[in-house]
């Protein structure tokens, strides 16, 4: 099990600097894009995009005019952003594939039991998304090998 997205596994973190696109804008990290997706206000999205760190983007994202459908769309948005991250960066996709069949758990100490696991409790939605993306990458690599 990979129980933390830090150290050699930092590339799994949404705070890892790897460009992604969301609705026509490019963001420096998944975290920036995810926080910006919380609002339909283009000016707020651009302010979040321009934050120097993903931590600052997260702070700004807590203060946006939250879109009404957020709770029903946030998991799909996260999956789309994670897919984009690994699709745009083949070296990161290779690292994700290199995790093999390890369970990926976004372990944390900040009590996020929706996206991760804290003190043994949590839904680990981010870890599940990463494992789903890894499985899809593996299937596409296998399919490419069969076509040759």
What does the pLDDT read at residue 141? 80
Please say whether the beta carbons of 2 and 8 come within 8 A: no
In the numeric block, which tokens belong to residue 127? 């870890």
Banded pLDDT at 116 (limits 50, 70, 90): very high
Share above pLDDT 90 across residues of the chain, in percent, rounded to a whole number: 94
* Summary mean pLDDT of the chain: 95
Please say whether the beta carbons of 93 and 86 come within 8 A: yes
In the numeric block, which tokens belong to residue 89? 């960066």
In the numeric block, which tokens belong to residue 134? 């890894």
What does the pLDDT read at residue 144? 72
Structure confidence by residue, pLDDT tens digits, 24-79: 999 999 999 999 999 999 999 999 999 999 999 999 999 999 999 999 999 999 99
CATH number for region 7-147: 1.10.357.40
């Amino acid at each position: 099990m990979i129980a933390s997205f830090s150290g050699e596994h930092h590339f799994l973190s949404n705070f890892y600097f790897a460009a992604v696109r969301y609705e026509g804008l490019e963001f420096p990290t998944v975290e920036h894009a995810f926080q910006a997706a919380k609002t339909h206000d283009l000016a707020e999205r651009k302010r979040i995009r321009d934050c120097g760190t993903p931590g600052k983007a997260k702070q700004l994202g807590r203060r946006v005019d939250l879109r009404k459908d957020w709770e029903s769309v946030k998991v799909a948005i996260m999956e789309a952003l994670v897919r984009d991250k690994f699709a745009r960066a083949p070296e990161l996709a290779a690292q994700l594939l290199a995790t093999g069949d390890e369970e990926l758990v976004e372990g944390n100490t900040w009590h996020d039991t929706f996206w991760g696991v804290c003190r043994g409790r949590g839904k680990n939605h981010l870890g599940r998304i990463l494992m789903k993306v890894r499985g899809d990458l593996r299937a596409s690599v296998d399919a490419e090998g069969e076509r040759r």
